Chain A
Amino acid sequence: MFPTINIGPFVFPTAGIVYLLGAYVALTLIERAAKRLALNVEATYGVAVVGLLVGIVAARLAFVAEYWASFSQNLIGIIWPLTSGYTVWAGLFFGVAAAFFYGRYKNLPLWPTLDALTPGLLTALIALSLADFLAGPGYGTLTSMPWGMSVFGIRRHPVQVYEIVLGVAALGVWWLVVKRGAPAGQPFLLAFALYSAGRLFLDAYRDNALLTADGYHIVQIVALALLVGCLVLLARQTTRSVEPKPTESTPV
């Protein structure tokens, strides 16, 4: 809808601006959450920055490796931003791995750190949906509902707006759970269980979803796996905390 923003004679890509703002807000929220949860703020912030930077570099290098024939004669093109191209899965994999090992190196506790990272991760997901809504290729299925949005004269589900609302709701859940002083890990697990369940439901309304060869929505499969994973971990945490402690064995 708005692929670019014109400011005077300059033209800026909307998606790029949303990503930059999203990264800034996400890092700010992580810093505040770390303070609130009484974690090592600098180290927690470092986990997020390391994950972000390694993710971007890995995604770019994987893309360059995939299309090496085109870059071998044009090495400056590897860092030239206008020829941007990224392999998302490589970025996710290496970004998460780098953040994990950096956290281990800094001796950060796993669950409280994940709790502090949650608002940042959710904000990043909201920014992705917002960029897709403003300037991306995504669009929803046909609808006659009054809240449907007209895309080139055809009324469609504003599926990215649903995703943004879901992300904000998950942030609300995180905030409530933290406010109630829930045990470490529960804010992260509850927020992502809700977000995964929502994406599992909403992706059915995306008209150009990523599909498997059989026509199943890939995002739904990933979301279901995450939802079940979050629930299993929540169950383990909750039942562990209420089960009676084993009594000391008495010698017979």
Chain B
Amino acid sequence: MLRSRFEWIIWIAVAALMGVAWIVVSKEEVKEPSILTLTEAPIVGHLAPDFTLQTPIGERITLSELRGQPVVLNFWASWCGPCRVEMPFFERAQMKYNGKTAVIGVNQGESANIVQEFGVRQAISYPLLVDDDNSVNLNYNINSLPTTIFIDPDGVVQEVIVGIVNQAVLEDRIEGMMRAE
């Protein structure tokens, strides 16, 4: 153990300087968001990557055609417990903001049959899209389920939330996007 005050001062100064240097080295570049660019993965402030997917009964939905209203994009899977927990919140939001906000569920890698059965069993009325080859999930860089992406009426990503979104946060974000219209 160090004994003299001078030795301690030297070592604390060295530790602080090395720490500050490491923080500066680890600093990440913050890019100014530009809404003029399309991105491969959703980045806040950028246009959401466009896609077209089908519901289990064959209805085609294209993200860019939903412009003019806020869009809540929820990535889920039937085996995902937290997804099941939050789905009633999305259902309630769908009923409450019907016609003013689009609530869309994008499944991860499961067949149309599974998505269809799940939607009926859970009494989900908002569109559940089938992404059986995971192309949209990969493009959106979905690493963890559930993930919810809030997209404003101009098609710009406002927020990405990984994990359960509760009723309070969901309504807060939707109303915030509606106010900003």
Contacts and interface: CB of A to CB of B under 8 A. Distances in A.
> Majority SS of interface residues in chain B?
helix
Given A3-B82, A204-B26, A238 B167 contact: no
A224 B166 contact: no
A175 interface: no
B82 A242 contact: no
A189 to B, nearest CB: 12
Contacts of B29: 215
Contacts of A74: 167
Interface residues of B, number: 41
B22 A204 contact: yes
B30 A214 contact: yes
B23 interface: yes
A136 to B, nearest CB: 7
B1 interface: yes
Given A3-B145, A11-B84, A136-B144, A215 B30 contact: yes
Contacts of B114: none
Nearest to A68: B168
Given A13-B81, A137-B162, A239 B23 contact: no
B169 A85 contact: yes
Contacts of B23: 200, 216-217, 220-221, 224
- Tell me the interface secondary structure of chain A in the complex: helix
A71 interface: yes
A179 to B, nearest CB: 16
Nearest to A217: B26
A84 B164 contact: yes
Contacts of A242: 3
B84 A220 contact: no
B94 to A, nearest CB: 16
A231 B11 contact: yes
Contacts of A151: 143
Interface stretch (B13-21, B57-65, B124-132, B150-158): B13-21
A139 interface: yes
B20 A77 contact: no
Contacts of A139: 143
B27 interface: yes
Given A220-B22, A220-B23, A77 B143 contact: no
A63 B85 CA distance: 19
B68 interface: no
Interface string A195-207: 0010011011000
B50 interface: no
B66 interface: no
Given A137-B163, A216-B23, 15 more contacts: A3-B81, A4-B82, A11-B81, A83-B167, A137-B162, A197-B15, A197-B19, A204-B26, A209-B28, A224-B16, A224-B20, A231-B11, A231-B15, A239-B4, A239-B5
